[in-house]
Structure 1
Amino acid sequence: MSIQEGRYDFGLSAAQEERAERLHDKNINIDLLFQGPLSPAAIPESISLKVKELCEPYKDEPMVYSTMPAQIITRLAASGEIAEYKEEWYKSGITAGNRELHLKDTESLITSMGEVQLQFDSCDWLVKALNAEDIRRAKREGKKAGIVTAQETDALGKNLALLDTLHSFGLRILQLTYNNQNLIGSGCAEPGNGGLSSYGLRVVERMNTLGMIVDTGHCGRQTTLDACAASASPVIASHTGAEAVYPHMRCKSDEELRAIAATGGVIGVFAMPWFVHEDPDHTTIEHVLDHMEYVIRLVGVEHVGIGTDWPMSDLEWSLVFFKEQIAPKLGFAKGDGPSTETVAGLAKYSNFINFTRGLVARGYSDEEVAKLMGGNWLRVFEQICG
């Protein structure tokens, strides 16, 4: 593998560059909050204009207008009209990334199930990962694996039987709460910090029984701690950061990070410009690596992974609209949320080798790099999902 475009300047020697390429090609690399493989920088301008034309009649319906572009892009990619969909994934070197269901309500659940299944049905190189061996097999066969996940639970209501149905579809990772309060517990933007409800405890128990991974990425502090105490299986935070490095509501305290690690779980560090550094216009992959290193020093290299949550598989004009009109309604602070800022070194998914290169630059061993780039996620996935 030789990826020259988008390389971040870590000052690596020729020998280090060769080692990074070898490791990136050899390892099972997993991004557990994988918004791509497309990104605004990778989608052709002609596609952006076409999508905008299709969406314009719905501009007076903000939620519809905001969600339409990503849905149209998914269909265009599945039909083969956006060749970059496959190209970016393969150039990235990522073996597995999540394919996300939306459980905001019944309509979004049904729609997203169709969109996710369409990707698997349309791409003979993309397999649905129901267990760890599916990911290993994808690596051996030169394919890619999609792990079905969800960040919301509102569509469940109090019908726990839906968890069984979703598990049968392929859902393997479920985040208990998003930013705000729901029936399960308090999200990270909820000032009450109420923790898990009695129903939330039952949800965790059912997820343990099914072999579904408990995710606390957007959960509030007490909800995270309660989940770690209640779960009989490892708990994860698919995408977060270290509060001690940058004090943002989406980052987790040392107490939470230690609690997750104590379950045998993994903390995925994100690459959202506004969540890892005080200046989103000058955020680099070094800042993301700073969060990873802090968590490594705190809880050990066995409990850290990557969940970039970035760059978004969307269009620049749509992301600006989302940030201005939609993000505040979802609990994000003013100025937060997807927009035009990017992390230097990760403008495209094809730049993902910069993680391996950065870990090499910081002196990690081959074994440690393998764990951080995907081995830790694979371990938890195998332990819980088989």
Structure 2
Amino acid sequence: MEEKLQEGRYDFQLTEEQEQRAARLHEENINIDLLFQGPLSPKAIPQAVAQRLKELCEPYRDEPMVYSHMPAKLLVKMMAAGELPQYKEEWYRSGITAGNRELHLNDMETILDSMGQVQLQFDTAADWLVKARKAEDIRAAKQSGRKAGIVTAQETDGLGRNLGLLETLHQFGLRVLQLTYNNQNLVGSGCAEAANGGLSNYGVRFVERLNQLGIVVDTGHCGKQTTLDACRVSSAPVIASHTGVERLYPHMRCKSDEEILAVAGTGGVVGIFAMPWFVHGDPANTTLDHVLDHIDYVVRLAGVDYVGIGTDWPMSDVEWSLIYFKEHIAPRLGFAKGDGPSTETVKGLETYGRFGNFTRGLVARGYSDTDIAKIMGGNWLRVFEQVWG
């Protein structure tokens, strides 16, 4: 493991003894990224593959949503065909025990399509990637040297008012569901919604049904009142899978102190993201230290038991597609012009293979072995054990 951390080390000015400690902890701990866009990323995808994808996608350029989403789908198909060994190599290089595999619930077509895409990953990599339905599945994966995929989703639009579909998705393996994605929907108001309306009456029933099924309530992209309402209504821990601290950087995607404390009050976890545009004012010069500042803040405010990691970056995509996404797709999703995913990365997390820098950074900041284990994955695992069983 120490050799893996040598490559791409962010300069935390650790002593050799600290480096050895970090390597040991990263190897021993159950490390979880609850917004794991990878394992591939622009810098981990061979240039020849990126060019091939561009040629395959070019005929769909006049269909923005299709054109934008196609590279990620094609990468999965290439992995399934055995053409992308980097998929497994980069996941193992990262040391991440478990990361989410995301469903898209925009409408019925995307629900069915993404279920196929997600299942293909599990079926193709069945010898090393398992679907986590219980917390024990993650522990077992760690013990056997395999990886665990957590099925999640970030939007609920495609469900309409059909709560029965939640049971079907749970049977498929859905275990974490975000209530809103930036904008208003039937459940509640997203973080980009000026009205800040909170949960609807239907949204209250929606949260109660998630509790009954054992699906974690996620408020990552939710508006302030929706987050507070979810924490009030839910009988199980509520999380924010990927967010930041509003007091450190006042972006709509970040949470106020009140929200952070509300999530912690349910026994939930606030996952800190590594998005260059959302944690610091200069995306081109955002570093892992800036990300760790957000972790430190939550620890001081709410306690070390209530913070985790949900990087949300780097995305499993190619550079030309990310540029197109920022220019043509992000504004449709409620992001301000020029905001949202593009080509910048956090210095220290240019690829997922450098995820060990999180452990190194926590060592540099003086956290104990026990607290590092909690932040790197133990807190998420505690929530999963409470909600999933």
TM bucket normalised to smaller: over 0.9
Instruction: Tell me which stretches of 4 or more aligned residues in structure 1 moved more than 4 Å.
Output: none
1:51 counterpart residue number: 53
| In structure 2, distance between residues paired with 1:147 and 1:302 | 21
1:249 and 1:47 map into 2 onto residues whose CA distance is 35
Aligned residue for 2:101?
99
Following the alignment from structure 1 to structure 2, what is the Cα–Cα distance between the partners of residues 341 and 49?
Answer: 20
Structure 1, residues 7-60: CA drift from partner, whole Å, max 9, x if none? 100000000000000000000000000000000000000100110000000101
1:173 Cα deviation after fit? 0.3
Q: Which amino acid aligns with 1:39?
A: S
User: In the alignment, is residue 151 of structure 1 matched against residue 154 of structure 2?
Assistant: yes
2:363 is the counterpart of 1:360: yes
3-state SS of paired residue (1:238)? strand
Q: Distance in 2 between matches of 1:265 and 1:80?
A: 39
**The one of 128, 133, 137 aligned to 1:134:** 137
- Residue identity in the other structure for 1:64: V
SS of 2:43 mapped into structure 1 = coil
Q: CA deviation at 1:80?
A: 1.6
SS of the residue 1:60 aligns to: coil
Which of 30, 35, 48 is 1:33 aligned to? 35
Q: Distance in 2 between matches of 1:190 and 1:81?
A: 42
Take 1:198 and 1:316, find their aligned partners in 2: how far apart are those partners?
Answer: 42
- Percent identical: 73
- AA aligned to 1:29 is N
Once the two structures are superposed, residues 129-184 of structure 1 have per-residue CA deviations (whole angstroms, 9 ceiling, x without a partner) of: 00111000000000000000000001100000000000000000000000000000
Offset at residue 222 of structure 1 (A): 0.2
The equivalent position to 2:228 in structure 1, one of 217, 225, 230, is 225
1:261-340 maps to which residues of 2 (within 5 A)? 261-340=264-343
Q: Distance in 1 between matches of 2:76 and 2:336?
A: 28
SS of equivalent to 1:41: helix
Aligned to 1:81: 83
- Residue in 2 that maps onto 1:252: 255
Distance in 2 of aligned mates of 1:295 and 1:306: 12
CA distance in 2, matches of 1:78, 1:95: 21
> Structure 2 counterpart of 1:137, which letter?
A
Q: What secondary structure does 2:101 align onto? A: strand
Report the Cα offset of residue 334 of structure 1. Answer: 1.4
User: What is the SS of the residue equivalent to 1:148?
Assistant: strand
Q: 3-state DSSP class of the match of 1:174?
A: strand
Q: Distance in 2 between matches of 1:365 and 1:288?
A: 19
Matched, 1:198 2:194: no
Unaligned runs of 5+ in 1: none
Match 1:10 to one of 6, 9, 12 = 12
For residue 111 of structure 1, what is the aligned residue in structure 2?
113
Among 169, 182, 191, which residue is 2:185 paired with? Answer: 182
Kindly provide the amino acid, as one letter, of the partner of residue 85 in structure 1.
Answer: Y
Q: CA deviation at 1:337?
A: 1.3
Give the CA deviation at 1:78. Answer: 2.0
Output the amino acid matched with 2:19. Answer: E
2:369 partner amino acid: D
Question: How far apart in 2 are the matches of 1:104 and 1:163?
Answer: 14
Q: CA deviation at 1:335?
A: 1.4
Residue number among 224, 241, 246 corresponding to 1:243 in the alignment? 246
- Alpha-carbon deviation of 1:277? 0.2
Question: What stretches of structure 2 of length at least 5 have no aligned partner?
Answer: none
Q: How many residues align structurally?
A: 386
Could you tell me which amino acid in structure 2 is paired with residue 59 of structure 1?
Answer: R
CA distance in 2, matches of 1:116, 1:340: 25
How far is 1:5 from its partner? 1.4
Q: Distance in 2 between matches of 1:20 and 1:336?
A: 34
User: Distance between the aligned counterparts of 1:253 and 1:36, measured in 2?
Assistant: 28
SS at match of 1:104: coil
- Once residues 336 and 255 of structure 2 are traced to their aligned partners in structure 1, the CA distance between those partners, rounded to angstroms, is 17
Residue of structure 2 in register with 1:381 after alignment: 384
Give per-residue Cα distances to partners, 1:75-109, cap 9 Å, x unaligned: 11122211110000000000000000000111110
- The 2-side partners of 1:279 and 1:178 are apart by 24
CA drift of 1:74 comes to 1.1
Q: Distance in 2 between matches of 1:79 and 1:151?
A: 28
